[in-house]
Copies of this chain bind each other. A is one copy, B any other.
Amino acid sequence: MDAETDDIRQNKQPARDLDPIDRKILGVLVEDATISYAELGERVGLSPPAAHERVKRLKRSGAIRATSAIIDPRAVKKPLLAFVHIDTRGWGKTPELMAVSKYPEVEEIHTVAGDTCMLLKVRTEDTRALEGLLARLYDTPGVTSTRSYVVLSTYLERPVQPEITPEWPAPKHMANPMY
């Protein structure tokens, strides 16, 4: 786990295309990444070492960005989900973005293609905390307005889903600002 980890960090992408077995593997691991290579192999029709080899390749290529525990927001007292639309005219690239990404309430940050706004997915303990967050966002340099936000009740949810292959702007995985 040395050269291998380095490869992953450097996001080396041999740009190899995914075959049907790779897809199956991704589907299985999105569901449950705790299974053994023996079981994974059985499900996709490979021996344990072969399955291991595949997964290693998928991680190295960046197809599998991380393996993460999915937390129940209720368990951590953050049941209130909201989407916040902020106007970002005069936005200075990464510095401010990093500031926003450090807010523990912010789960996702999306830039809108061809527009000067961003959409944030946030989760707070209650409405009071949400208001506090909005205030902080408004005070963030580069944010000219926090135009609208909708409070939602999560009904169904699942992790990111796979299906096929790549050509697009590089995504940066970020440090967990939580701890």
Contacts and interface: CB of A to CB of B under 8 A. Distances in A.
Interface of A: 18, 23-24, 26-34, 61-79, 81, 83, 97, 101, 104-105, 107-113, 118-119, 123, 125, 150-169, 171-174, 176, 178-179
A161 B150 CA distance: 19
Contact of A166 (B18, B74, B160): B74
9 contacts: A64-B69, A64-B70, A75-B166, A76-B162, A101-B156, A108-B157, A125-B164, A157-B173, A162-B178
Contacts of A109: 155-157
Given A30-B69, A162-B178, 6 more contacts: A64-B70, A77-B164, A77-B165, A79-B166, A123-B161, A155-B171
Given A74-B171, A174-B158, A30 B163 contact: no
A72 B166 contact: yes
Contact of A161 (B30, B71, B165, B171): B71
Nearest to A112: B152
B65 A67 contact: no
A33 B83 contact: no
Contact of A72 (B34, B63, B83, B155): B63
Chain A to chain B: the 5 pairs with minimum beta-carbon distance, closest first? A77-B164, A63-B75, A29-B69, A27-B179, A74-B166
Contacts of A33: 33-34, 67-69
A70 B67 contact: yes
A36 to B, nearest CB: 10
